[in-house]
Amino acid sequence: MQTIKAAVCHQFGQPLVIEDVRLRAPDMGEIEVTLDAVAICHSDISYADGAWGGSLPAVYGHEAAGRISATGAGVTGLATGDPVVVTLIRACGACPSCGAGRPTGCEAPRDGDHGPLSTIDGGTLHQAMACGAFAEKIVVHHSQAVKIPGDMAMDAASLLACGVITGVGAVVNAAALRAGQDVVVIGAGGVGLNAIQGARIAGARRIVAVDMNADKLEDAIAFGATDTVLAAQDQPWNAAIKAMGRGADAVLVTVGAAPVYDQAPNYLAPGGKVIMVGMPASGAFSSFEAGNLAAAGQSMIGSKMGDVVIARDIPWMIDLYRQGRLKLDELISNRWRLDQINEAIADTRSGSARRNVIMLK
């Protein structure tokens, strides 16, 4: 058992506290990773605000990159010293979802209250999202990690753990977008920008970005949007349809706001589909006129973590990045120290940041 620094949430909605915690050695099938970088995702903030409940005290953080510093028994394909991206996607490999090639839906039970973390006096400390990466080190299952090139910058690599794979994966996996189709992306934040560049890479004809913030729409153009629409205008779907000349084949909702899902079907062409990426708080409801969806052959599809298979999709995205076709460095707004995490979270809440990254080395 070793002592490390971590940012701990003791009360929902309150600042995180940097303190000493205990981290046990990796068990069977686990690896210990000494972290170089962890990005701040809005999901971390939502959890820390209590939007989805959960146990406290807890350590959040799930977009991480670093080097393996120890391995447990039974780990193959990864070794001490390997640079890796660490994701929250923990796959047992044996349940029906894993067997169907959908590890993001792994059905094996998880218990973050009995994970590798504990308080300095041995009390329960919840490892959130099977990662707990707002810390100097983590212990995770080997299925959560993917080896990366040794010369890849860790801050850029950390983004591949969630925001990038969620946005790009929602386009290529969940929407199964074909070249020449039309896309609307609602929300031009971290995940939305990646959905936009995923649509560009997939060969979309028109990519319409919709957001409340004009500055974010400028970012959207830089990442590949062909058209932009301010969401604050009356019936913004009319402007989007005008830009495309028709309804969208796919509408990707990347913001966690239930009212947005009320409106999303209005952007669709016959046969189109809404890809539900953003996660509203527990208890938030949306409503639709079901008959319209049925009559037009439209659908609404949930997409968790872009439906990625990390061993397949992360190496592909790294190759796109090295070719200059996938933007990672441009997503980073600021870099912070661990003791600045509350400032970094406040900056992320402001909506102005693409991605803030905590640098641990």
pLDDT at position 322 is 97
How far is C-alpha 22 from the chain's CA centre? Answer: 27
Summarize the confidence of residues 20-48 as an average pLDDT.
96
Alpha-carbon span 28 to 136, nearest angstrom: 21
Q: What value does the mean pLDDT of the chain take?
A: 96
Q: Structural domains in the chain?
A: 2-161+327-359 (3.90.180.10), 167-304 (3.40.50.720)
CB of 145 within 8 A of CB of 30?
Answer: no
Q: How many beta carbons lie within 10 A of that of residue 77, not counting itself?
A: 10
CB of 187 within 8 A of CB of 211?
Answer: yes
**For residue range 176-226, what is the model confidence (pLDDT) as tens digits?**
999 999 999 999 999 999 999 999 999 999 999 999 999 999 999 999 999
pTM of the model: 0.94
Alpha-carbon span 71 to 28, nearest angstrom: 8
**Phi, psi of 358, deg, nearest 5:** -90, 120
pLDDT at position 1 is 87
CB of 166 within 8 A of CB of 198?
Answer: no
**For residue range 261-292, what is the model confidence (pLDDT) as tens digits?**
999 999 999 999 999 999 998 899 999 888 98
